[in-house]
Structure 1
Amino acid sequence: MQHGKYRFIAGFLIVPLAIYAVFVIWPFVQAIYYSFTDWTGLSPDFKMVGFDNYTKMFDDGTFWKSAQHSVTYVLLLPVVVLALALFFAFMINVGGRRRKDAAIAGVRGSAFYKIVYFFPQVLSIAIVALLFQFAYNPRNGAFSAILRGIGLGSVQPDWLGDPNLALWCIMAVLVWTQVGFFVVLFSAGMASIPKDFYEAALLDGANRFTTFFRITLPLLWDTVQSGWVYMGILSLGAEAFAVVQIMSVGPGGPADSTTVLPLLVYQKAFRDGQAGYATTIGVALLIITLIFSAIVMRLGRRERLEF
């Protein structure tokens, strides 16, 4: 019976594992292999160059600047996005005034707020980047118009043209696009927490601040941890690349002030014809992503709470 059971399980697993190996594991193996070659990406002819690409990468100032920007994204974006999303979700679900029919309630119009917050998720990231590119126009963009409207017309920053501002302006767009998704995600998690917990805490004299850190956050921690990892991977991946590629000067400028690792991989592979070197940078990006995920999972480990 045991052997039959194992054959039955293996029969179900062999196909999905084979698909996973072909479409997920094998591309990683290929990328690592090509990182040791001088492949241009255009010709089938290439030769092994050993660790030359890695030596070149460590001596590349643009790589280190891009890595710095990517690390800045992965350290700040999850903190800002998740903090805002937790605050908004808490206010929507728990932060309202007491009503006659319930001691715990969200703010009025909470369903409408969920739709408003989630709206950026409906739009393509390319459309969002183009809209904000127009909004950041220093002459007739929305943000400059707001400054003029409040009497700060003399303050006309070159939002995307200033090396000191461009990175933060693009980061603000990524925050705007992602907060809504996590508001809905955390709202679903908070809706599953029994209201009795909050009512008991209020009877004991706890305020909203205490109930959030003593009840909501501990019971929602698994969702927050998963969101942290997801947001970090997103900060290192396609979302950051798309926004920087569309919005920044160059792209990646001015003076490489907004270049991130995914954009550098794209430029080296498709602009400069250095696919082997691009895969080397991709391997470095993979290592950074794995280190980030491992640190978050390790630091966020705690006893599981059930209710």
Structure 2
Amino acid sequence: MKHGKVPFILSFLALPVGLYTWLVLMPFAQAFQISLTDWSGTSNKFNYIGFENFVELFQDDVFVLPGLKNTGIILLVMPVLTIALALFFAFMLNVGGQSKGGRIRGVRGASFYKIVYFFPQVLSLAIIAILWKQMYAPANFGGMLASALKFVGITPPVNGFLAREDFVLWCVIAVMVWSAVGFYLVFFSSAMASIPTEIYEAALIDGASRVTTFFRVTLPLLWESVQTAWVYLGIIALDAFALVYIMTPEQGGPNHASEVIGGVVYRYSFSFQERGMGAAIGVVLFFATLIMAVVSLRVTRRDRVEY
């Protein structure tokens, strides 16, 4: 019976593993092959040129270098803001209520607030991009933010926030944080629910403030969840192309001020018909994502806290 388990298990794994290999691993391998060619995507001829695409892409200061810089800014800012806000809201909803008789309570209506914060998750990314594009529009085109500033006597950007080179990338980051914070609020709230309330009550009896309780109790016990969120948010930050493509002028403008590396892949592959260069940028993005995940897990690794 023991030896008969292996063929039985393999019979269930064969189809999903085969499909995964065919639909995921093989296209990845093909992308590595195409990155070493000058293939245009319109013919069946492959001319192998070695690593010329990789050399040229780092010399492109019009698309690639701005895309790398902006993607790096998003990667540094967006996960930090999202995790900080999600932790703050989750802590306040679950532990921030008035304590009675030494008992820790969440705020009244916490479940309703979680639903409100989570609501952006039920919207598609395209809908979110269109909604916020209208929010950032000029006042004479019905832009809500510009109209609100104008109402209180502050002069908004004449052509809208997305037309300003110094604003556009931060507008995109704000939308990414807004759309992600609700999910991680619920994620951290679920992790907090597993922390025994006796630990919080002991901290309260010892005179610990809310801030001290958060940094000395909650954060260490949630560190594995924070670590997981950091990796996933880093991957989301590297994949900001769809939001930028729909929201921003010129799909990365103005003047490439919101260009991201995913948009550069799209430009080379479909606008310029240089699939080899597009594949090379995709390979760089793949390794950047892999390195980011490994480094994040190594840097944020701590000893497991038992309770």
Q: Measure how far apart 1:48 and its partner are.
A: 1.2
Q: What CA distance in whole angstroms lies between the structure 1 residues aligned with 2:24 and 2:46?
A: 24
Deviations 1:149-190 (A, max 9, x none): 212137657311111111111111111111001011111111
Matches within 5 A, 1:62-77: 62-77=63-78
Q: 2:223 aligns with which of 212, 221, 226?
A: 221
Residues 1:256 and 2:248 are matched in the alignment: no
Counterpart position of 1:182: 184
Matches within 5 A, 1:25-40: 25-40=25-40
Deviations 1:47-103 (A, max 9, x none): 212112112112111211101111111111100000000000000101111135x71
In structure 1, the residue corresponding to 2:162 is in which secondary structure?
coil
Q: What CA distance in whole angstroms lies between the structure 1 residues aligned with 2:170 and 2:109?
A: 32
Matches within 5 A, 1:29-178: 29-61=29-61, 62-99=63-100, 103-140=103-140, 141-153=143-155, 156=158, 158-178=160-180
Q: What CA distance in whole angstroms lies between the structure 2 residues aligned with 1:155 and 1:39?
A: 43
- Contact 1:89 1:187 survives alignment (8 Å): yes
In structure 1, the residue corresponding to 2:65 is in which secondary structure?
helix
Q: What CA distance in whole angstroms lies between the structure 1 residues aligned with 2:158 and 2:98?
A: 41
- Contact 1:147 1:155 survives alignment (8 Å): no
Q: What CA distance in whole angstroms lies between the structure 2 residues aligned with 1:267 and 1:154?
A: 32
Deviates more, 1:86-95 or 1:132-141: 132-141
Q: Measure how far apart 1:300 and its partner are.
A: 1.1
Q: Measure how far apart 1:298 and its partner are.
A: 0.3
Q: What CA distance in whole angstroms lies between the structure 2 residues aligned with 1:262 and 1:151?
A: 39
Q: Measure how far apart 1:148 and its partner are.
A: 1.4
Q: Measure how far apart 1:115 and its partner are.
A: 0.8
Q: Measure how far apart 1:199 and its partner are.
A: 0.5
Percent identity reads 47
TM-score, with structure 1 as normaliser:
0.93
Query: Which residue identity does 2:213 align to in structure 1?
Result: T
- Contact 2:157 2:164 survives alignment (8 Å): no
Q: Measure how far apart 1:19 and its partner are.
A: 3.1
TM-score, with structure 2 as normaliser:
0.93
Counterpart position of 1:244: 244
Counterpart position of 1:287: 287
Q: What CA distance in whole angstroms lies between the structure 2 residues aligned with 1:232 and 1:21?
A: 25
Query: Which residue identity does 1:70 align to in structure 2?
Result: T
Q: What CA distance in whole angstroms lies between the structure 2 residues aligned with 1:12 and 1:194?
A: 40
Q: 1:194 aligns with which of 188, 193, 196?
A: 196
Q: What CA distance in whole angstroms lies between the structure 1 residues aligned with 2:14 and 2:298?
A: 31
Q: Measure how far apart 1:11 and its partner are.
A: 4.8
Q: Measure how far apart 1:293 and its partner are.
A: 0.7
Deviates more, 1:41-50 or 1:220-229: 41-50
Q: What CA distance in whole angstroms lies between the structure 2 residues aligned with 1:26 and 1:104?
A: 53
- Runs of 5+ consecutive residues of structure 1 not aligned to the other structure: none
Change (3 A) 1:272 1:11: same
**Number of residue equivalences:** 304
Q: What CA distance in whole angstroms lies between the structure 1 residues aligned with 2:174 and 2:114?
A: 20
Query: Which residue identity does 1:98 align to in structure 2?
Result: S
Deviates more, 1:19-28 or 1:257-266: 19-28
Query: Which residue identity does 1:202 align to in structure 2?
Result: L
- Contact 1:36 1:50 survives alignment (8 Å): yes
Counterpart position of 1:267: 267
- Runs of 5+ consecutive residues of structure 2 not aligned to the other structure: none
- Contact 1:97 1:107 survives alignment (8 Å): yes
Change (3 A) 1:154 1:192: closer
Considering only aligned residues, what root-mean-square deviation do their CA atoms show, in Å?
Answer: 1.8
